[in-house]
A and B are shown apart, each in its own frame.
Chain A
Amino acid sequence: MSTTPKNLEELKKELLDKMPTKVARKRDKAIVPGAESGETIPVIQANVRTIPGILTQRGCTYAGCKGVVLGPTRDIVNLTHGPIGCGYYSWLTRRNQTDAGEDGDNYIPYCLSTDMTENDIVFGGEKKLRAAIKEAYDNFKPKSISVFATCPVGLIGDDIHAVTRQMQEELGITVFANSCEGYKGVSQSAGHHIANNQIFRHVIGTDDTPVEGKYKINLLGEYNIGGDAFEIERIFEKCGITLLATFSGNSTITQFRQAHHADLNTVMCHRSLNYVAEMMETKFGIPWIKINFIGAEATAKSLRRIAAYFEDPELMARVEQVIAEEMPAVKAAAAEVLPRTTGKTAMLFVGGSRAHHYQDLFREIGMETLAAGYEFAHRDDYEGRHVLSTIKVDADSRNIEELEIEPDPVRYNPRKTPEQIKALEDQGVRFKVYEGLIGEMKKEALIIDDINQYETHKIIELMKPDIFCAGIKEKYIIQKMGVPLKQLHNYDMGGPYAGFVGAVNWYHEIDRLVNTKVWSLIKAPWNDNGPELEAAYVAD
C-alpha cells in the first residue's frame, strides 16, 4: 500500500490498469477531480449503461419508481405486476417512516403482487392483473391503487395502462400504472422519471379544495428515511411554514392532489424529483428552489432561503429565532466530538444525492471528503444544472417519456412576476439552480460515477479513508478491510440525520464509528509473535 498522496492521473492509472482496454477507456471518463476553488468544472460521464460483470452498486427502474418515489405514500395500495421477487425485495426494505395519521390508512407494511407464473407469461397477465386489482380493492378499499410493471411485463406486451383505466372506471377510485420495467434506462433514475410523470399526470393538482395556512410550500425528493422528514416537519411547524406535501416520505395522496396550492417548491433530492418541480412550475406557475436539510448550517441556510422567498419580515424573524434556539445544542454536540473527528477523512458513494449533501455534515465535524460519487445521478447533479442543454440523451435512455406540459388554463398562476424573481435573485435566492457536486469538492478529491467493487477496493487501499459511506451491499465488504462503513441509504437503522436534531445524531454516530474499539481488536494478541514457552517455568 502506498502512503504518499498521488495526483489524479496516478490514481486513475492504478484504478484502471487491470481493466480490459475497452472497459478502462469507458471508466476513464467517469473519474474526474473536484473543482472547489474556481477551477473549471470537468465534464463527467454519467447516466450511461452499466458495464456488464463490473459489479455495480446500481439497481433498476422498478426500484427507482416503486421502491423509491411512489412506495412511501401510505394510502396508495402499490401492486407489483410481475413474478414475486420484485414486490418481495421492495417490501419494507427502504426505511420510509410513516405516521398513519387520524384516518389510519397505511399500506406500507403490505406487499401486493400478481405473482405471475408461467401461464401468465405464456398467455398474458392482463386478466390476472384485473382480478388482482379487484381483489386488492375488495380487501383494502383504498383511495387509490398504483400498478408497477416488472421486466417480463413489457416483453409479453401486457397493456397495464388499459387495464388500470378500465379498473378506475369500474371501481371509481384512482387507478394508474407505471411502465417501470427493470430494463428501462440504465439505473434507478429512469424509474424516478417514470414515477414523476405518472404522479403528475394522474394525481397532482386534481383537488382544488383550498388549503389554509401561511407560507405554503412543498418538499420534493424527501423520503423520510429514519425520520428525516419528521424532523423537517418539526422545524417547518416551528417556523410557521405550512408544508402541503412531501414527495413522498410520510405522504398521502390527498397531499399530492392539493400540492398545486403551494407557493413554493423546495427540492431536496434533485435527481429523483426535479421533473415534478419543473412540470409544476410550467403548469401551475410555482417556482422551485434547491434546499438541503442535511447539515445544521445547510438547514439554517435553507430556512433563510425559504423566508427570503416569501419576503415577509415576520417569517424572516421567526426563522432567525428558530435557528438561534436550535443551534446551541448543535454547537455543543459538535464541540464534544470535534477533538476526536477533526482531520479524519471520508468517502461517499451513494445513490443520486446524498454523496453531496452529507459532505456538509462531515465538514461540520472537521472531516474532509476524499472521494465521492453517485450510482445513477446525471451530469447536472455532478456539474450543475447549467449543463442541462449540453446533455445528450443516449440510446439507452431515449425511450423514457418526456411529458409536454402546458400552463393549466385555470390553475396557472405565476407566484412571482419576472421582476420579483429578478429582485430575489439579486438578493441571492436562486431559482431552478443546482450547482452540483463537483464544484464543492477539492481539486485533490476523486469523483467517480457508478463506482464498482474493484475501484472501491482500490481507492480504499490507495487513499485509506477513516470512514466509507455507501450501502448494504458494500457495508460488510469494506468492514472486512477494517474500515467502518456508514450506510447512507438506510442509515444503519439510525437517524434522523436531517435538520438540527439530525446533525446532533450524526456527530455522535460518526464519532462512534471512527473511534469504536472494535477496529483495534482485529489482530489477535499473538498475531505478531512466534511460539513462546512460558509454561516451561511451571515445569521447572
Chain B
Amino acid sequence: MALLRHTTPEIKERSALTVNPAKTCQPIGAMYAALGVRSCMPHSHGSQGCCAYHRSTLTRHYKEPIVAGTSSFTEGSSVFGGQSNLLQAIENIFTLYEPNVIAVHTTCLSETIGDDLRQISQKAKDDGKVPDGKHIIYCNTPSYVGTHVTGYANMVKGILKGFAKKTGAPNGKVNIIPGFCEPSDMAEIRRLCGMLGVEIVMVPDTDGVVNGPLTGTYEMFPNYGTTPEEVGTMGDAAGSIGLGRWATAEAVNYLDAEFKVPGKILDLPIGLQATDRFVDALRKMAGVAVPTAVDFERGQVVDAISDYIQYLHGKKVALAGDPDQLLPMVEMLLTLGMIPAYVVTGTGGKLFEERMNALLKDVPYPCKFKNGEQADMYLLHQWIKTESVDLLIGNTYMKYIARDEDIPLIRHGFPILDRMGHQYFPTVGYKGALRMIEKITGAIMDRMDRDCPETKFELQM
C-alpha cells in the first residue's frame, strides 16, 4: 500500500492550500548563512520554537552541532515588542558563549509586530552590552515572504552590511558569494579558484563549521568560516561573482551599489556548462589563464559523458528543489541527453519560468514545471502519477514518492535527512559533475540490473 495513498492523478485547482511544500521559511537560510562567518552565533529574534526547528533541521541534515540563540518571545513581548528580550539575549550570549559576532535574524512574529533591529542593535551598543571588538549584525527575514533561499540572501547582505568596507586600495581579489550550497561545494569552489590562481574572499563559508572532525573537544566556534576582517576587504575587490541568482543577487548588487565592485551573477557551477561559465568568468575577472590541470578535470567530465550517455539518453527525470540548484541541474540533465520532465520549486520569481522555457525549448517532450505558490511535491507527484519518470532528484521528502512509484531517487539539495555524503563530497565543479554523473548512472544501472529479464542481464555496462 502506498504511503502517499491519498494522492491521485486527478489535479484539482488549488489557490490556497500547499501540500508537501518544496520550500521552507526564511530564517533557516539566514541561520545557515550566519554559520559561515567565523565565531558567529546566529540569533533568532522570535519565539523559541522557530529556533528549535531550524537548529534541528540543520542538525539532521549535517549530523553536526548547530547552535543558535533565541529571544524566546512570550505573549507579553509579542504584544509590547521584543526589545528587552533581544537586549537580554545579547548580554547573555556574549557573557556565556563569547562569540565574536552575533548575527540576528527575525521570524514572522517579530516582523508582524514590527521590531526595529537597527534601533535595538544600536541600543545594545549604547548600553554597553556589546563588548569591545565584538559585533552585532542583523537582517530581516519575514517567513511570509519568499523562502529559505530568500533568508539566506538576506543574511549574506546583512553580513556585508555589517563588515564590508572600501579603503580605496584595490586588492585584486574576487569576491565569491557561493549561494545556498553544501560546505563541500564551498570547499570545491575554493579549490577551483585556487587552481586558477585567483585570490578570493568567499562569504559565507560553512566548510569546517558544519562538517568538522570529532576530536574529543567540542568547539562551539571552530576556526573556520569567513572572518569579519576578510569580509572587510570585499569593497576593494576587483569584482564579485554570485553563484545562484536567488541566493546571491542581493549581496552582489549591494557590493556594486555600495562600493562600485562590479558583479556577475552566474548559476551554481553544477554540471559541465555551468562550471565552464564559472571558470571563464573567473579567468576574465582576475585576468588569469586557465591551467591545464583544470582542462584535464574538464576533459574527464566530457569523457565520462561520452562513455555513459547511452544509458541516460531519453530517460525522464522529475525534480524538486531550489531554483539556484534546479536550473544548472536541468541544464546538466539535458547535456546528458535526459529529459527534465517535471520540475517544481516553492521559491517564486518570474525569471525561473524564463530560464526554464529557454532550457526546454528544443526538448521533444511536454515537460511541466511550476514555481512559487502551490508548486509543491503533491503536484509533482500528481504529474508523475499521470505519466511516470525514470528518476527523481530532490531532497529526502521525495523518498515517499520514490517508494510509492518505485522510482530511483538521487538525494540532492536541502534537506537530506537520511543519507550521508553531501557534507563531504561536492556536486559543483568538474569533480562535482563527475560525482553527479556517477550517481545518476549508478541509479539507472542498478534499476536496469534489478528489472531486466535474466537473459538480458549483462556483466559489462
Give residues in A with beta carbon < 8 Å to B. Answer: 18-20, 23, 49-63, 79, 82-93, 100, 104-107, 109-118, 120-121, 128-132, 134-136, 138-140, 150-152, 154-156, 181-187, 395-396, 399, 453-454, 457, 471-473, 475-482, 522-523
Contact = CB atoms under 8 A, between A and B. Distances in A.
Interface residues of B, number: 83
B91 A53 contact: yes
Interface in B172-221: 212, 214-219
23 contacts: A52-B71, A59-B52, A60-B47, A63-B53, A82-B143, A83-B142, A83-B143, A86-B49, A104-B5, A109-B4, A110-B19, A111-B19, A115-B21, A116-B108, A118-B145, A120-B144, A134-B16, A183-B74, A184-B75, A187-B48, A396-B75, A475-B59, A476-B59
Contacts of A106: 3, 5-6
A204 B108 CA distance: 33
Contacts of A457: 218
A20 B91 contact: yes
A117 B78 CA distance: 20
Contacts of B122: none
B400 to A, nearest CB: 5
Given A52-B92, A151-B112, 7 more contacts: A23-B92, A49-B72, A51-B92, A58-B48, A109-B4, A114-B18, A118-B142
A117 B67 CA distance: 28
A414 B21 CA distance: 48
A85 B19 contact: no
A341 to B, nearest CB: 22
B427 interface: no
Contacts of A118: 142, 144-145
A121 B144 contact: yes
Interface string B65-94: 111111111111110000001101111110
A457 B304 CA distance: 49
Given A59-B48, A91-B397, A152-B112, A51 B56 contact: no
B63 to A, nearest CB: 6
B108 A82 contact: yes
A53 B42 CA distance: 10
Contacts of B18: 84, 87, 112-115
Contacts of A139: 6, 12, 14, 17, 19
| Top 7 A-B pairs, shortest CB-CB distance | A60-B49, A53-B89, A85-B25, A131-B16, A89-B53, A52-B89, A53-B92
Listed residue (A55, A135, A475, A522) with the most chain B CB atoms within 10 angstroms of its CB? A55
Nearest to B18: A115
Nearest to A60: B49
Given A51-B88, A52-B85, A481-B216, A140 B144 contact: no
Contact of B16 (A111, A135, A152): A135
B143 A84 contact: yes
B65 A131 contact: no
B346 A84 contact: yes
A113 B53 contact: no
Contacts of B50: 60, 85, 182
A447 B71 CA distance: 25
Given A93-B56, A155-B78, A477-B218, A117 B144 contact: yes
B147 interface: yes
Contact of A183 (B53, B78, B218): B78
A140 B93 contact: no
B24 A59 contact: no
Interface in B10-50: 12, 14-21, 23-25, 27-28, 43, 46-50
Listed residue (B17, B68, B113, B142) with the most chain A CB atoms within 10 angstroms of its CB? B17
Contact of B72 (A51, A110, A121, A184): A51
B44 to A, nearest CB: 10
Contacts of A23: 92
